[in-house]
Amino acid sequence: MRAEGLEVIGVLGSMESEAGVKVLVERAVESFGGIDLVVSTIGGAPYARSFDAISEDELLSTMRINTWPPLALIRAALGGGLAEGGGSVVSISSGSPRKTTSAMVAYAASKAALNAMTRTIAADLAARGVRVNAVSPGLVRTTATRSTWEADNGRAAGAALPLGRLTEADDIAGAVAFLLSEDARQITGVTLDVDGGNHLRGGGWTPIR
C-alpha cells in the first residue's frame, strides 16, 4: 500500500479483544489525528456444522467473531472522534442469513445478528451524525473461495447468478467506498447486497466444484 503512495500503518493484535481494539484506535488517532471512517471486515465461519452437529462453544464462538469486533470497534472509534465530523461506518456482512445452507447455521445466525446490530446502532448514532451501514457480499472471487471458481475461472459460478458475472473484490470495495462517502450521506441502517442478484433467490447454496 505504501508502494502505491498511500499513508498507512499496521497494528498487530486481536480484534476479538477490547485491548487490541483500543490499541488500534489509539494508533490511528496518533498517526492521523482522529477517526472519520470505520470499516470492519473481521468475521468468519470457522465451524461448518449442521444444527445437530455443532457444539455450544462452536456456535457461541462464531457469534462472537462476527458480532463483537464491529461493535467494539465502533464504540472505541467514538472515543477517537468518529462523531465529531459526522463519521461513517461500514461492516462486512453476508448473504447467508437469507439462505438455508445446513453447514452455515451458526454463520448465518451471526451475520443476521450483525445486520440487526447495524440497524440498531445506526438508530442510536443518527442524532450524532454518524451513519452505520453494512455490505452483504455473495460468492466473491478471492483466495478463500478459490475452490469454487478456479477450475473454469469463475464462468460456471458467474453464470449461476442473475447478472451472469462472478462478484469481484473490487465490487465489494466500491460499495463500501460509496457508503462511506458523501454521496451516501442520506443512507444509514441498511445492509446493501452486492452479489450479482443472488439475494433474489432463496434456499441453500452449494459450492460449485
Name the active-site residue from 49, 59, 107, 117.
Answer: 107
Compute CA distances 114 → 62, 90, 119, 123, 134, whole Å. 12, 11, 9, 14, 9
Identify whether 107 is a catalytic site residue.
Answer: yes
CA 133 to chain centre: 10
Count the neighbouring beta carbons within 10 Å of the beta carbon of residue 38: 23
Q: Rounded CA gap, 95 and 126, in Å?
A: 25
Compute CA distances 26 → 37, 79, 167, whole Å. 14, 9, 35
Active site residues: 107
